[in-house]
Amino acid sequence: MSELSVNHLLGIKYLNEKDIQLIFETADHFKEVINRSIKKVPSLRDITIANIFFENSTRTKLSFELAEKRLSADVINFSAAQSSVKKGETLIDTVNNILSMKVDMVVMRHPNPGAGIFLSKNVKAAIINAGDGAHEHPTQALLDSFSIREKLGDVTGKKVVIVGDILHSRVALSNIFALKLQGATVKVCGPKTLLPKHIESLGVTVESDLRKALNWCDVANMLRVQNERMDMSYFPTTREYAQQFGINKTLLDSLDKEIVIMHPGPINRGVEISSDVADSKQSIILNQVENGVAIRMAVIYLLASQIK
């Protein structure tokens, strides 16, 4: 059987194109499984997984838990807010205590960039990064590309624009890495204040005019403005942001062609995306969420098969 080139999933940066294809082929199989009347396989009956979340989550947390249960793994959930982290326990002590209960794999979301990398070097378990600050969100990028592949047949050669708060977005960085690896062309579009300096060094181009960017692309991935990561205002008002960088039905319907609309969630309706676009037939937002379970089953299954 083919193997991943890594023993942890810390970021798309550490994967190669073959890894992504292997994950997609495995996810194709699991997508079929989760659409059967019996949605479960016995593959990971001997594996225990801890989901440790130091930051809020709806989609990623529930999707990982469901993926683990569909694979028949034993699952424990840890929420930092109700834990002894509040009493000063360190990350490594916390995780080593969890691992001493015979846990094989840790899925972690953490507000600090690099937290997963740090953990992988200091504990004996397979680590999956479920989002580390503004750094990477690898399973989100995998499910995003998988959803483009499902909708358009292939990612190679497609034109994708990522719109909005690129500066604070782990989704943007992981998507850029994943899309470039698969041969897509990537543009970013947003207020200058929300674009990282030297973003072009990642092999993307910048467009400040949203209409031009949308007329160019096959797929627009609309990002949320991450107010929780901002210590100052990066644009005058939310209304002006919505006017310049938000998509609404009038704009969508006036484009030269029909494009695919994506959003990683959670959505700020009326800011980066209007309700009628989010709920339109061009939107694949809920398909992304559905595909998240199959992608996470694939990642967990492949990493678990490499545990020595």
Task: Choose between 112 and 215: whose C-beta lies nearer to ligand CP.
Answer: 112
Alpha-carbon separation of residue 238 from 64, 138, 228 (angstroms): 33, 29, 15
Would you state the structure tokens that stand for residue 5, as one six-digit string? 């080139």
Coil vs helix vs strand at 109: strand
Task: Choose between 43 and 164: whose C-beta lies nearer to ligand CP.
Answer: 164
Q: Interaction with ligand CP in 112-131: which residues (CB under 6 A)?
A: 131
Angle among Cα 290, 70, 80 to the nearest 5 degrees reads 80
Q: Interaction with ligand CP in 252-291: which residues (CB under 6 A)?
A: 264-266
Any contact of residue 236 with ligand CP (CB under 6 A)?
A: no
Task: Choose between 59 and 69: whose C-beta lies nearer to ligand CP.
Answer: 59
Task: Choose between 114 and 265: whose C-beta lies nearer to ligand CP.
Answer: 265
Name which of 181, 190, 170, 195 is nearest 145 in CA terms.
181
The residues pairing with 274 across neighbouring beta strands, listed in sequence order, are: none
All residues at 6 or more sequence positions from 6 whose CB lies less than 8 Å from its CB, including other chains: 14, 15, 19
CA distance 295 to 18: 15
Q: Residue 287 CB, nearest distance to ligand CP (Å)?
A: 14
Q: x/- site string to ligand CP, residues 137 to 166, per CB under 6 A?
A: ---x--------------------------
Binding window for ligand CP (CB under 6 A); candidates: 51-59, 71-79, 95-103, 191-199: 51-59
The number of residues that bind ligand CP (CB under 6 A) is 9
Which residues are near ligand CP by CB under 6 A?
57-60, 131, 140, 264-266
